[in-house]
Amino acid sequence: FSPGDVFYSDGEGANTFRLGFSRLKEEEIVRGIKIIGDTLKNEIWS
């Protein structure tokens, strides 16, 4: 993934990120989404 602000020309996007997934197998995408979801859940509820 990449910090999202580099994809904005107006200085926005400080709290965003960009995921690149076009070359991954579906199983890898599903696994990655689960990892991100679990991480966010742990951060929000801890």
What are the tens digits of pLDDT across the range 1-46? 789 999 999 989 999 988 887 888 999 999 999 999 999 999 998 7
Burial of 5 (0-12, 13-18, 19+ CB in 10 A): middle
The domain tally of the chain equals: 1
Identify the pLDDT of residue 38.
96
- State the pLDDT at residue 27: 95
Structural domain boundaries enclosing 7: 2-44
- Amino acid 1: pLDDT: 79
pTM: 0.62
Burial 20-45 (b: 16+ CB within 10 A, else e): eeeeeeeeeeeeeeeeeeeeeeeeee
* pLDDT confidence of residue 25: 93
**Could you give the angle at the alpha carbon of 36 between the alpha carbons of 30 and 38, nearest 5°?**
100
